[in-house]
Amino acid sequence: MQSAPLPETLANLVGLDPNSTPVMILMSLVGAALIGTLMMTNTALAGPWAKRKITAAFTDRIAVNRIGPYGLFIIVADAVRLLSKELIVPDGVDRPAWDLAPLVIASTALLGFAVVPMGSGIHLADPEVGLAYVFATASMASVGLVMAGYASNNKYSFLGGLRAVAQNVAYEIPLILTGASVVIFTGSLQMSEIVAAQQQTLIGPLPSWYAFVNPFAFVLFMIANLAEVGRNPFDIPEAPTEIVAGYQTEYSSVYFVLVYLGEFIHIFLGGAIIATIFLGGPAGPGPASLGIVWFFIKIWGVFLFTQWARSAVPRVRIDQLIEIGWKGMLVLSLANLLLTAVIVGVIA
């Protein structure tokens, strides 16, 4: 299962020396481009097409079915449509910050995938602090949200930005604490180690995925993740019926695409973290080369879950959200961490 990180594989593939630094830098860039493209493709599929189809299925509709098979070419049509729109720059926006925010939102989430083992040898880097790194990149999106909200010079954006910060602070701590409880099991932050630790079987055919070992942590993490990616019941930074579109109110055309893209990549990053630390990463029946298929099935499963929540669950109010975060989730995740530590300490 354990294979060399992607740049080495690539270097070997084209017959270059994997020990020379320039070659590795080049191959890392190629690998990053590959993973970036992979995730972008996923997002392209998810944003204009899958999201519509999934929501339609939940709401008794059909959704896009006119352009191409199953309406798939809507992706092309939407891309052309969105990119050819006028980029409106409102008066009084805080220029560098306003332009940078969409880039920050979109790129930070992509960075996280660098350390995610996707199976089938697609794993760009495997630093020892892998999990910490993923959480760090995921939270950096908040910076982008604040930039967007504050720089837009729009009150709705401003409110959206403030809500985003309040929400992310309230939910990132439970998220990371719950993630830490997994680290107690594995004793390592390295992503490959976390995946490797989930290879055994638990009871019968059940694999020892941490979702089965500690379902409580899994549920906590799933809920916190909903808040982290801003989907119902925690979609209040955008809350269309309250603050129009929150921090993205003033963005149009390419910038809007970037913000939107960033959100979807963020959902997938959340899915990737969940898949890696709770669902055994790329593990699944069949040969190891099928790993990437299983991995993507898992992150799409998480995506489906967020869309399900979006279609069926009411949104909570901002003060209720903060209350749930600080008084509920934080306490529960701390309890989970302590219990896990005690249990692991006693058994091991």
Partner 1 sequence: MSLEKPTPDTAAEVGVTEDGLDYDALADLLGGHVLDREEHVNAEGFVIRPDEVQAVLSTLKNEAGFDHCACVTAQEYDDRYESIYHLRKFDDPTQELSVIVPSPKDDPHNESAARVYSTADWHEREAYDLVGINYDDHPDLRRILLPETWQGHPLSQDFNQDQPQIVTLRENANPLEADHRSEDDSDTMFVNIGPHHPATHGVLHVKTVLDGEQIADLEPDIGYLHRCEEQMCQQGTYRHQIMPYPDRWDYVSAGILNEWAYARAAEDLADIEVPEYAQVIRTMSAELCRIAAHMLALGTFALDVFGDFTAIFQYAFRDREVVQNILEDLTGQRLMFNYLRLGGVAWDLPEPREEFFEKTRDFLDDLPHKLEEYHDLITGNEIFQMRCVDTGVLSPEEAKQYGATGPVARGSGVDYDLRRDDPYGYYDELDWNVVTEEGGDNFSRVLVRMREVEESARIIEQCIDLLEQWPEDEREIQANVPRTLRPDPDTEIYRAVEGAKGELGIYIRSDGTDKPARFKIRSPCFSNLQTLPEMSQGEYVPDMVASLGSLDIVLGEVDR
Q: Which residues bind partner 1 (CB under 8 A)?
A: 55, 58-61, 155-156, 159, 232-233, 235-236, 239-244, 310-320
The count of other CB atoms within 10 Å of the CB of residue 325 is 22
For residue 270, the surrounding DSSP H or E stretch is: helix 253-278
Would you call 321 exposed, middle or buried from its count of C-beta atoms within 10 A (0-12, 13-18, 19+)? buried
Distance of CA 269 to the CA centre of its chain: 2
Q: Work out how close the CB of 156 gets to partner 1 at its nearest, in angstroms, rounded to a whole number.
A: 8
| Closer Cβ to partner 1, 214 or 232, answer by number | 232
Would you call 257 helix, strand, or coil by DSSP?
helix
Q: Work out how close the CB of 260 gets to partner 1 at its nearest, in angstroms, rounded to a whole number.
A: 14
Q: Work out how close the CB of 206 gets to partner 1 at its nearest, in angstroms, rounded to a whole number.
A: 31
Q: Work out how close the CB of 303 gets to partner 1 at its nearest, in angstroms, rounded to a whole number.
A: 16
| Closer Cβ to partner 1, 22 or 314, answer by number | 314
| Cα distance between residue 223 and residue 25, in whole Å | 38
The identity of residue 58, as a single letter, is F
| Closer Cβ to partner 1, 236 or 274, answer by number | 236
Q: Work out how close the CB of 236 gets to partner 1 at its nearest, in angstroms, rounded to a whole number.
A: 8
Query: Which ranges in 15-126 belong to alpha helices (H)?
Result: 21-44, 51-58, 74-83, 95-112
Q: Work out how close the CB of 169 gets to partner 1 at its nearest, in angstroms, rounded to a whole number.
A: 16
Q: Work out how close the CB of 256 gets to partner 1 at its nearest, in angstroms, rounded to a whole number.
A: 16
| Closer Cβ to partner 1, 201 or 320, answer by number | 320
Question: First CA to last CA across the chain, in angstroms?
Answer: 25
Q: Work out how close the CB of 245 gets to partner 1 at its nearest, in angstroms, rounded to a whole number.
A: 9
Q: Work out how close the CB of 43 gets to partner 1 at its nearest, in angstroms, rounded to a whole number.
A: 19
| Closer Cβ to partner 1, 190 or 248, answer by number | 248
| Closer Cβ to partner 1, 40 or 313, answer by number | 313
* Side-chain half-sphere exposure of 297, counting CA atoms within 13 A: 12
| Closer Cβ to partner 1, 54 or 122, answer by number | 54
| Closer Cβ to partner 1, 80 or 327, answer by number | 327
Residues 6+ apart with CB under 8 A from 323: none
**By the 8 A CB rule, do 31 and 7 touch?**
yes
Residue 259's alpha-carbon distances to 64, 120, 156, 322, in angstroms, are: 23, 30, 16, 24
Find, among 139, 140, 170, 145, the residue nearest to 158 by Cα.
145
Would you call 201 helix, strand, or coil by DSSP?
strand
Find, among 101, 173, 174, 177, the residue nearest to 144 by Cα.
101
The pair of structure tokens assigned to 294 is 């299983």
| Closer Cβ to partner 1, 259 or 275, answer by number | 259
